[in-house]
Amino acid sequence: MRESTSATPAIGQRAGERRVRSTEEWLAYFRLNARRQRKIPWQSSGVAASPAELAPLRRSLQAWQLGETSDGRHLAASADRFAAATGDPAYREVIDLFIREEQRHGALLGRILDDAGIPRRQADWGDTLFRRLRYSITDIEVWTTPVVMVEVLAMIYYNAIRRATGSPVLRAVCAQILADEVPHVQLQCERLAVLFRHRSRTRYRATMLAHRVLFLAVMLLVWVGHHRALRSGGYSWTHYRRAAYAKMNRAWQRMDPQRYVWT
């Protein structure tokens, strides 16, 4: 969907700016981001985390590594349909680069597990549930909604892991993933704003109500599955819940089509 013709590659909400980035801008961003990955100090130290430090993290890291690893076929098919419906074929390329970035996260976490001698997992209840939810309908909105929620919670999760470990490698991997996830959330929110743009305010409010119910469930499930790791990183239940809603409220604001100037 071509909402703007500017080709500025910079991504990030500038003060006073209320414009959905064009497909071309997102393409430029993902291409640039692929070339400016942080250096991870694998050679100098390995993972170098003590077994005691890894104990509350290992199951959780296995699950997130699996979650970050997907061939993206369902998303690519949904993106194709969305691109065709909106006359924006380049959107598929944006999604391909987005999928590649997620696969890079999976590869980084996979290497962490391998270096630490933690086996990779092939299945996890949270991952299975999340995939079923995403694949239930091949509609870009149904796909994007749980993804943006998990990406919001991922920012809390990787921050917790970064705080829970003294390993320079694991900290650098978390920093890279956190840096990538901020624009991911922004991309998903902007695409949802495009989808909500012609929705009546009554239907939009009903959609937001459904979002609140779903987010409560996703937030609780992430806590159930990962509270040991989150606690290791300094997140009590109250702290986690407050941080989750603070971030999700910002994401909900960014999905509101009334926030943007449409050209």
Chain positions contacting Fe ion, by CB under 5 A: 68, 102, 105, 151, 181, 184
Is the Cβ of residue 199 or residue 250 nearer to Fe ion in the bound state? 250
State in angstroms the smallest separation of the CB of 94 from Fe ion. 13
State in angstroms the smallest separation of the CB of 154 from Fe ion. 6
Measured CA to CA, the distance from residue 98 to residue 82 in angstroms comes to 15
How far from the centroid of its chain's Cα atoms is residue 48's Cα?
A: 27
Is the Cβ of residue 48 or residue 179 nearer to Fe ion in the bound state? 179
Per-position b or e across 38-70, b if 16+ CB within 10 A of its CB: eebebeeeebbbeeebbebbbbbbbbbbbbbbb
State in angstroms the smallest separation of the CB of 102 from Fe ion. 5
Task: Tell me the residue number closest to Fe ion, measured at CB.
Answer: 184
What residues contact residue 257 under an 8 Å CB cut-off, 6+ apart?
Answer: 193, 194, 196, 197, 199, 204
Is the Cβ of residue 21 or residue 184 nearer to Fe ion in the bound state? 184
State in angstroms the smallest separation of the CB of 230 from Fe ion. 17
Is the Cβ of residue 56 or residue 72 nearer to Fe ion in the bound state? 72
State in angstroms the smallest separation of the CB of 196 from Fe ion. 21
Structure tokens at 228: 């040991």
Q: Please tell me the chain's helix, strand, coil percentages from 3-state DSSP, rounded to the nearest 5.
A: 75, 0, 25
Is the Cβ of residue 5 or residue 129 nearer to Fe ion in the bound state? 129
State in angstroms the smallest separation of the CB of 68 from Fe ion. 5
CA distances from 175 to 67, 146, 161 (A): 18, 23, 10
Q: Give the chain's end-to-end CA distance (angstroms, integer).
A: 12
Measured CA to CA, the distance from residue 217 to residue 205 in angstroms comes to 19
Contact assessment for residue 35 and residue 101, using Cβ atoms and an 8 Å cutoff: no
How many Cβ atoms from other residues are within 10 Å of residue 137's Cβ?
11
Is the Cβ of residue 25 or residue 151 nearer to Fe ion in the bound state? 151
Is the Cβ of residue 48 or residue 214 nearer to Fe ion in the bound state? 214
State in angstroms the smallest separation of the CB of 151 from Fe ion. 5
